[in-house]
Amino acid sequence: MTLGLLLTADRLVELGRIALLGLAALLFAQGVLPLGALLVAVGVGLYALVKTGIRGLVLERKLGIEVFVTVATAVAVSGGEFIAGAVLLDIILIAEFIADLNTDRARASIKALIGSVPRVALVRSGTGEHTVPVEQLRVGDVVLVRSGEKIPVDGTVVGGQAAVNEAAISGESLPLDKGVSTHVLAGTLVESGALDVRTDKRAADTLFARIVALVEGAEEQRAPVQKLADRVAAWLIPVVFTFLVGVYLYTGDLRLIVTLLIFTSPAELGLATPLVMIAAVARAARSGILVKGGLYLELLAKADVFIFDKTGTLTVGEPEVAAISVLGSTFREDAVLALAAAADRRSAHPLAQAVVRAAAARGLPVAQPSAFEAVHGRGVKARVDGKEILVGNAALLLENGVTEPTVWDVSGGTIVYVAVDGNAVGALELADRLRPGVRDLITRLKATGVNSVVMLTGDHDRVARRVATEAGIEDVRAGMLPADKVAAIEELRRRGHRVVMVGDGVNDAPALARADVGVAMGARGTQSAIEAADIALMTDDLSKIVLARALSKRAYRTVQENIFVGVGMVHVLGITAALLGWIGPIQAALLHLGPDVLVFLNSVKLLRVRLQA
């Protein structure tokens, strides 16, 4: 966002107030302006601070920097330090103006970081092409998007081909090929080619719009450390005023009290956290990670137990042929697989489709069956090249008079038998494949301080243990219903653990909601997944879990740096210098800029710092 856009009418008024007060102090110091005029300028300068301070006290019951500055100015003026009071007030107004401007720039950067959607779209209709505002697009409208343009809607391609960069949604920089019948998302960039896109959702309902709404609303979910800062500020205020009264009774020095008022204000504690969380949430969104608030960033940083669902999370969720067993010497492996694929090619069952894919991967010719019958809960019957083929479980074989053969010791998959003309000729083991990088993910999570990694699944114990062994997970709990998963999470939390649950966001919604932090994988375009989880990953890339953990830890550490270094150390040094008589009110006001600048610079570096994904 440019400076011109940030300088709203209210801010221009504030700039005028600052300039007026500064000019009045200068003219009074030169003897040109009478005292009454200076006091009027001071009153004008104080007006906005007093209004903000009173609003904070009444509505939020919070004593802010505005009250401290007002008291400091009043004390200076009442003690005859007119120039010091005016200059002090002007410098503080400048500091607050800069701080507010920088905070708004950080908030505005969120949309810029995760991309932007065009405000208008080129709509193709029977009367030609015409430009309309995106808000006026209706479901079914066909939008033309050319090379170098961003797609304005969530929709389906009905014409053209293009390479589309979806980094704004998923954080992945490699473009994807899009053609007829593929889906595209608002905010993504057409790098080459052109597309005709049929609008599937209104502008307010697109995935991009939901992402922006979630990220911009993330400030409302305040982290515990931010709440702690507010509580510290609340009890510190009476301590500060007691200290100041004691110093005045001992020294009788109003200038010293004015100086100390600048450095004893606890209100700046409130600046230490929000900007960090804004920057961290924006950085996460740019990487395809949606975080619903600073609360979940801090909980993720402190979590010591990670729980994973199996199917669709640790595994790809699609079965594949893991092994082939040949029974007898009539058929070879490829022949058994080709016959099974021919029988299965008309079936929509996931296991049948896995067999067909395996045959295609080997380049095997797959014949068309002349007859086909799907037997519910059993498998299929088919006639292929004059042969009667059975492909299914043991029950299918027994019901058709085929003796169940003895096969190898299955490591945890599902056995599908193949019979030809009443004789079993082979068996296929089908298993769900582990996602790439799972074992590395578990190792790296443990390296960040995770004490325990658990897998909860409704699958059979044998299958679950095979996947867990491959993944490097020792704690496996199989045969669990959704209620059992919730109970397991509650038990871990009762034992004092901070629990993160990672699932697909749909089937695992109760468990995601019960954990301290629920992480939904592959939530791109899935409303239920985004709603169920506290953190949603736009892709199925497991490394983003490690990135989110690294970002949360870095954000939490940055908050601590802001509080203990950016605010604490500067204020301690300032109070010490004031008590020793080394600085006065004007120098204190100038030094007051230090914490604001340090906090801002330390916070916004989260937008650019390199993190180990």
Residues acting as catalytic residues: 309
- Only one residue has tokens 């604001």, namely 596
Residue 472 to residue 468: CA distance in whole angstroms: 6
Total Cβ atoms within 10 A of residue 350 = 12
CA-closest candidate to residue 43, choices 6, 73, 15, 5:
73
For residues 552 and 204, give the distance between their C-alpha atoms in angstroms, rounded to a whole number.
29
Residues 6+ apart with CB under 8 A from 269: 229, 230, 232, 233, 563, 567
- CA–CA gap between residue 78 and residue 75 (Å, rounded): 5
Give me the phi and psi of 366, to 5 degrees please: -120, 115
Interior/surface letters 80-114, b for 16+ CB within 10 angstroms, e for the rest: ebbbbbbbbbbbbbbbbeebeebbebbbebbbebb
Q: Are 284 and 551 in contact (CB under 8 A)?
A: yes
Q: Give backbone dihedrals phi and psi of 177, rounded to 5 degrees, phi first.
A: -75, 130
Can you tell me the distance from the alpha carbon of 338 to that of 362, in angstroms, rounded to the nearest whole number?
Answer: 10
Distances (CA, A) of 110 to 6, 35, 36, 171: 15, 47, 46, 14
Closest CA to 225 of 266, 268, 272, 267: 272
Cross-strand partners of 466: none
Q: List the helix and strand counts (H, then E) for the chain.
A: 23, 20
Quick check: 420 and 339 in contact, CB under 8 A? Answer: yes
Residue 477 exposed, middle or buried by CB count within 10 Å (0-12, 13-18, 19+) = middle
